Amino acid sequence: MSFFDIANTFLNNAYKLVLIPFEFLFGQSWVAPLLLLPSILIWATIIAGGQRKKVKAYKKEAAARLSVLRSALDQLGGPDEAQLAFSAKYDEIDRAFSSVDPGGEQLAYAWREFQESIVRGERGTVVRNTVRPIQYFARTAPSQAQLAFWSNMFVGIGLVLTFLGIVVALNKAGAGLSGNLDQAKLALTELLAVAGAKFSTSIAGVSASLLLRYSERRNSRECQHLIDELCEWLERGLLYVPPQRLAVEQLDIQNQQLAQLKQFNTDLALQIGEKFQVAIAPVTASLGMLNENIASMSEGLGQGAAKAVAEASGGELRALGQTLANLGEQLSSMGSTVGASGNEAAQQIRLAGADFAQAAADIRGAFERLSLQVDGMGDKLLTQAQAASEAQSEALRRAGEISESAQQAASQSISGAVQALSGAAVAASSEFQAGLGKALAEGAAASQEVFKAALEESGAGLRESAARISAAIQGAAGQIERAATGLEAGSSSMERGLKAFADTSTEARTAAQALEGASRAFGVAAQPVSQAAQAIASASERLQRLFEESQTNQDDVLAEMKVLATAIRETQDSARKAWQDYQTRFEGVDKSLENAGGKFAETIGESLDSFRKFSADTDKEMASAVGKMGKTLDQIEDYAGTLSEFVEALRRAEGNR
């Protein structure tokens, strides 16, 4: 046996094995009409039913939306009334069409897309659409592609089953024809019976295809009918406008708005300039008033300080000079009294009195120069105050110039007004405060330095003068003590006179020590007093020589010395009284100076408080003005941004056109 025969036998056996299950299935004539045909039809019915369920859900949602449109537009006659009614009930219609219940998802999506083509105006105006609604809602119906697919599939399945049955029948008939004639007839009879039954599967496939096609057509027709009716009602409530017409209307409106914006910008610039002038006018007036107030305050401050110092010190110092003059006169009278004891002694004593009078005159001149220095100090204070006022005026003038330049810049450009206003306000406020504070600080510092220098100068001079007066008086007392010691050998009366004279000297020393503590305010009269003390010392020496030469006339000299002691005692009393008067007056001077200084400090404090208050008010007003202008300019910037967007959109529209 050849390989071909073996392969042929193997393949025939394999073919028979493959046909065994089909022979079992199609070997009986009832299998195709009673089993396969109903199965195919039931299968097709299930597919059509599932698709029908989707269509019913869609029809329910579409009917609900259609019901809302009918209730809003059904009772109206003309199209204008329907369009107005649709506009009035637009929100209600929008809620109904936006519902996403099962079956209505596609309708909701289509409505959202269709809303993008709707142009709504103010309430009570017609709602316009630029695209037909059918272009959006035609795609919302459930797809029927599944029914078309299975309708074709069932035709193919029926044909395949038919041909398989025929193949099985022919194979079985061929096996029967290999026998005798009776077996061949029987095989042919079974072949024809089985073949006729097998065509029932083709009938089942075609029937299922027809069923699905009918279901597809029915579903599509019903959905399309609802869509057409829905779009028809929407068209009734809307006014269709082509996009080209809307573009022309928008172009006309934009041209009108452009003309209005040009006019508005012109009017706005003028109004901003006027409002800025009105807002800055109170600030300018306030700065002018501040300049005048500070100038008057500085002038009054300088005059008041000079007057207070002059009143407090001039009168007291003149009274002290008068007291010292009286003291000199008493010493001069003492010299004339001693004249009886000898012409030379009397002449020396008179010279000492004259020197002392000259010292008093010099002291008065010194006090007068001190008064002039105090007056000069007041003038310097006034000059410093005027200089501070001029500096303040210059600072205010610069602030006014900066404000004026800021105002001019603001009227030229709206955008420049923002920067110019902020920069000018900050610079003017900073420069004004810095200049004014610097001027006040310089004026106050200069006033304090002048006042301090004058007091230190007068105090140093007075202390030096007091020291020299004390030294001169102590020297005179020593000379008188030596003269008393020389006369002690003369007689006991002379001793008593000398003791009295020593007591007088002690009291004079005590008075000198008291004067030393109070004479710290005198400095200019040091030299004349020193000369007077030297003259008194030389007179005492000459008097001592006269006493030594005139021992023979001790009684007369003793009498004259008694008179001299009496005169010296009176002089001591006068000096004590003068010291008391001076001490009282000097205490008054201290109190007056203290009061003047307190009033001066109080005046400066009040002036600074007033200026701080005014500066705070000025800053507050400037901040308020800047805040108001900032709000206005923010609105202008917003408007400018909107205008820029509008102009850009206008350019794009013109470019598209």
Is residue 524 within a helix (H) or strand (E), and if so which, with residue range?
Answer: none
Whether residue 313 has pLDDT greater than 80:
no
Distance from the Cα of residue 604 to its chain's centroid: 33
Name 406's Cβ contacts closer than 8 Å, sequence gap at least 6.
Answer: 420, 421, 423, 424, 425, 428
Q: What percent of the chain has pLDDT over 70?
A: 40
DSSP, collapsed to helix, strand or coil, labels residue 489 as coil
Average the pLDDT over 335-355 and give the result: 52
Average the pLDDT over 453-481 and give the result: 49
pLDDT at position 156 = 92
pLDDT at position 508 = 38
Average the pLDDT over 357-384 and give the result: 58
pLDDT at position 229 = 92
How far apart, in whole angstroms, are the C-alpha atoms of residue 242 and residue 438? 75
Q: For residue 303, give the nearest of 612, 588, 596, 592 by alpha carbon.
A: 596
pLDDT at position 60 = 92
pLDDT at position 30 = 75
pLDDT at position 604 = 61
pLDDT band at 345 (very low <50, low <70, confident <90, very high): very low
Strand partners, 129: 118, 240
Whether residue 314 has pLDDT greater than 60:
no
How far apart, in whole angstroms, are the C-alpha atoms of residue 503 and residue 500? 5
Angle at 648 between CA 645 and CA 651, to 5 degrees: 150
pLDDT at position 443 = 47
Whether residue 538 has pLDDT greater than 90:
no
Q: Which of 153-167, 316-330, 517-531, 569-583 has the highest mean pLDDT?
A: 153-167
pLDDT at position 86 = 87
pLDDT at position 426 = 43
More confident residue, 369 or 505: 369
Buried b (16+ CB within 10 A) or exposed e, 326-360: bbbebbbebbebbeebbeebbebbbbbbbbbbbbb
Whether residue 59 has pLDDT greater than 70:
yes
> Count of CB atoms within 10 A of residue 433's CB?
16
Average the pLDDT over 232-245 and give the result: 84
Buried b (16+ CB within 10 A) or exposed e, 447-463: beebbeebbeebeebbb
Q: For residue 443, give the nearest of 514, 504, 380 by alpha carbon.
A: 380
Q: What percent of the chain has pLDDT over 90?
A: 12
What DSSP character marks residue 218?
H
pLDDT band at 168 (very low <50, low <70, confident <90, very high): confident
pLDDT at position 432 = 43
- Mean residue pLDDT of the chain comes to 67
pLDDT at position 454 = 45
More confident residue, 160 or 170: 160
DSSP, collapsed to helix, strand or coil, labels residue 241 as coil
611-654, pLDDT tens digit by residue?
567 667 766 766 676 666 666 667 666 766 776 676 677 677 66
Distance from the Cα of residue 578 to its chain's centroid: 70
pLDDT band at 433 (very low <50, low <70, confident <90, very high): very low
pLDDT at position 633 = 62
More confident residue, 172 or 43: 43
DSSP, collapsed to helix, strand or coil, labels residue 240 as strand
Whether residue 605 has pLDDT greater than 90:
no
Whether residue 280 has pLDDT greater than 80:
no
DSSP, collapsed to helix, strand or coil, labels residue 203 as helix
Name 538's Cβ contacts closer than 8 Å, sequence gap at least 6.
Answer: 348, 352
190-212, pLDDT tens digit by residue?
667 666 667 888 888 999 999 99
More confident residue, 569 or 202: 202
477-531, pLDDT tens digit by residue?
455 455 445 444 444 444 454 344 344 444 434 444 544 454 454 444 445 444 5
Q: How far is CA 258 from CA 48, 288, 636, 650, in A?
A: 63, 44, 17, 9
Q: Which of 115-124, 418-427, 437-446, 627-636 has the highest mean pLDDT?
A: 115-124
pLDDT at position 147 = 92
Whether residue 234 has pLDDT greater than 80:
yes
Average the pLDDT over 358-365 and give the result: 59
